[in-house]
Structure 1
Amino acid sequence: MNQLSTSASTPRIAVVSASWHAEIVGQARQSLRAELERLGHPPDQVDEFEVPGAFEIPLHAQRLARSSRYQAIVACGLVVNGGIYRHDFVAAAVIDALMRVQLDTEVPVFSVVLTPLNFHEHEEHQRYFRKHFVKKGQEAAQACLKTLNALRRLDSLSA
């Protein structure tokens, strides 16, 4: 097992997922949980929260970060071009807000909020993005644990 070290006080992680396109977004959440467990992170230290869409994720992330209960937050969502030009603005607002949450609270926030250039409802795109979200969930889990370890090392330097 390729395990990233966890301390005696295992970090609690929150996962905030948009329910829009749940069949795709859920793949990231499931693969994130599976990868965290594969890396030795206990499943009972991961809490899930669902919101309607990507635009609602940052406020939940902020409240969770400010609760002092979570050492990391992972956001999962899919922002698609629905035929009117606003997806770029929504995606930028969400990503900017997640970065602000991270910097304001010092709780790392990881984004699996993706905005494909072209997305169509047909099965080929659905299948492609389901696979893509599995990969992104795994990558987010790895980045999360590595970042938490790196932050612990930084904290030990100032102790």
Structure 2
Amino acid sequence: MNQMLQDSIDTTTDIATETAPPADTPAASPPDESPPAPSHPRFAKPQRVAFVQSAWHRDVVAECRIAFLDEIEARHILRDRVDIFEVPGSFEIPLHAQLLAKTRRYTAIVAAGLVVDGGIYRHEFVSDAVIKALMDVQLRTEVPVFSAVLTPQQFHETQAHFEFFRKHFATKGVEVATACAETLLSLERLRSQVAAGII
């Protein structure tokens, strides 16, 4: 009986010795599971963007700008080709956007702001007025204007709401950068086709 037990232990030891890697062999590193960075098309001509942001709740709106700059750079518009302008509130954005568009220096303008307080009627009036005015600027000047002006109906100045809208603005920053870059590429192609008489 003791001999059988000893034989079993010896066999187990032999198997363990055969299958275990040598002590000085480094453990295999796990495969890199991060997806490759997406490849974005490049522009034929240099682009310049104006980013107009409201100072009202600056720390929340800043998340949009930070995310926008990261994403727009990934899409081949360098940060030094984005000029930042700050205005007191969202209501002041359209006039600044119009003046910037009229300079013809910018190929796109992005607006970011947070409209809150003042009751539902003022809230809806300001948000409607800002969005309509931004659309008018783009149609009058043919400079595309993009809005990340958010108008939450249930905003309370609590830490939980501030945290939620910081994350939401970061998401909107990526979305507005994507829309901006893709529209500029589309307009670049369209204008080239018009100039060539294709369209």
The bucket for the TM-score relative to the shorter chain is over 0.9
Sequence identity percentage = 55
Q: CA-atom RMSD, angstroms?
A: 1.2
Q: What are the within-5 Å matches in structure 2 for residues 22-37 of structure 1?
A: 22-37=58-73
Residue 128 of structure 2 is matched in structure 1 by 92
TM-score, normalised relative to structure 2: 0.77
Q: Gapped runs of 5+ residues in structure 1?
A: none
Is the counterpart of residue 42 in structure 1 residue 78 in structure 2? yes
Q: What are the within-5 Å matches in structure 2 for residues 30-109 of structure 1?
A: 30-83=66-119, 85-109=121-145
For the 8 Å contact 1:71–1:108, the answer to whether it is kept is yes
Report the CA distance shift for 1:84/1:39 in structure 2 as closer, same or farther (over 3 A). Answer: closer
For the residues of structure 1 that align with 2:192 and 2:73, how far apart are their CA atoms?
Answer: 26
User: 1:75: how far off?
Assistant: 0.1
Larger radius of gyration: 2
Report the CA distance shift for 1:76/1:62 in structure 2 as closer, same or farther (over 3 A). Answer: same
For the 8 Å contact 1:27–1:137, the answer to whether it is kept is yes
CA offsets per residue over residues 42-65 of structure 1, 9 Å max, x none?
A: 111100000000000000000000
* More contact order relative to length (CA 8 Å, sep ≥ 6): 1
What letter corresponds to residue 12 of structure 1 in structure 2?
R
TM-score, normalised relative to structure 1: 0.96
User: 1:71: how far off?
Assistant: 0.2
Is the counterpart of residue 125 in structure 1 residue 138 in structure 2? no
For the residues of structure 2 that align with 1:8 and 1:150, how far apart are their CA atoms?
Answer: 11
Q: Gapped runs of 5+ residues in structure 2?
A: 1-36
